[in-house]
Amino acid sequence: MANTSANTTAFGSLLTAMVTPFTVDGKVDYRQAGELASKLVDDGCDGLVVTGTTGETSTLTDEENVGMFRAVKEAVGGRAAVIAGTGTNDTAHSVSLSRQAAALGVDGMLLVTPYYNTPSQEGIRAHFETIASSTDVPVMLYDIPGRSSIQIAPDTMLRLAGHPNIVAVKDAKADFAAATRIMAETELLFYSGDDGLTLPWMALGAVGLVGVTTHIATRRFRELIDAVNADDLGTARKVNLELEPLVRATMTRVQGAVAAKQILKWQGVLPSSVVRLPLVEPDEKEIAIMREDLADGGLGFDV
């Protein structure tokens, strides 16, 4: 059955894949996480993804992941959907983390394609279905072959759509033809997993964005998404073009978590831009590039 959603979903339409704030000595700063979550929701996010790729989940302990789920849920629960990044390349580990997140009352799970192992499509299907069956929490699949090395093939996606808990897809491969087929034949809700492709994705039928640049330009992305939903293509095009330099600054020239934390520090939102190894903070050349792109987008900082 075709997806007939009127661009509404319990996950929201503007989601930020949140950074995980650290103190200067590298510990998770749960207070700052709660404050950042509140600001993002105040500025227009109706959903937040916690400890996804941009949240540096691969260098967090399970205790830290769960601590972030708790901190964000306590800060914005009831005002925005809290989506827990519980997917790993270990099915049993993902089940354990998902159950802990479910016990906290999160609104959804983000499950990335298992990376490094390079499973078959049957293995991918079994991985996702096993995790999705372990709780009653709705699941958003994350299709990002650039990081996982393998895609969720269209036929696999069609089969996964039959699972009652698998309801959405964050797509970071931009195979629009495949996505059109899946949207036509299933009820899966698609989200752009690429900030710069939000407008074309929504024109195709996606319900919104799971973004990183949304940390620094939340209200502008809210304006873009609302314009599309209001069939105001002129406004949507205008905002999309104005956002391009900011997307460039945050997503394409410096690693996303690194760039987002640095810009949030410049904006005075976070006191620290600390990341965990193997990520490192931007060097002077990267700082100059980011400042140039931000200036092109109308943001300048005295740093």
- Are 101 and 67 within 8 A, CB to CB? no
- Distance CA(142)–CA(111), nearest Å, equals 6
List the catalytic residue out of 73, 170, 191, 261: 170
Query: Per the structure block, which two tokens stand in for 132?
Result: 């999705």
List the catalytic residue out of 142, 191, 265, 285: 142
For residues 102, 167, 260, 203, the Cα torsion angle rounded to the nearest 10 degrees is -160
Residue 191: active-site member = no
- Distance CA(140)–CA(10), nearest Å, equals 11
Residue 170: active-site member = yes
- Distance CA(201)–CA(23), nearest Å, equals 36
Q: Sign of dihedral through CA atoms 87, 168, 127, 99?
A: positive
- Distance CA(147)–CA(192), nearest Å, equals 16
SS3 of 240-300:
HHHHHHHHHHHHHCCCHHHHHHHHHHHCCCCCCCCCCCCCCCCCHHHHHHHHHHHHHCCCC
Q: Sign of dihedral through CA atoms 164, 167, 169, 170?
A: negative
Query: Using the 8-state DSSP alphabet, how is residue 80 labeled?
Result: B
- How deeply is 104 buried, as exposed, middle or buried, from its count of CB atoms within 10 A (0-12, 13-18, 19+)? middle
Q: How many CA atoms lie within 13 A of 289 on its CB side?
A: 15
The residues carrying an active-site annotation are 142, 170
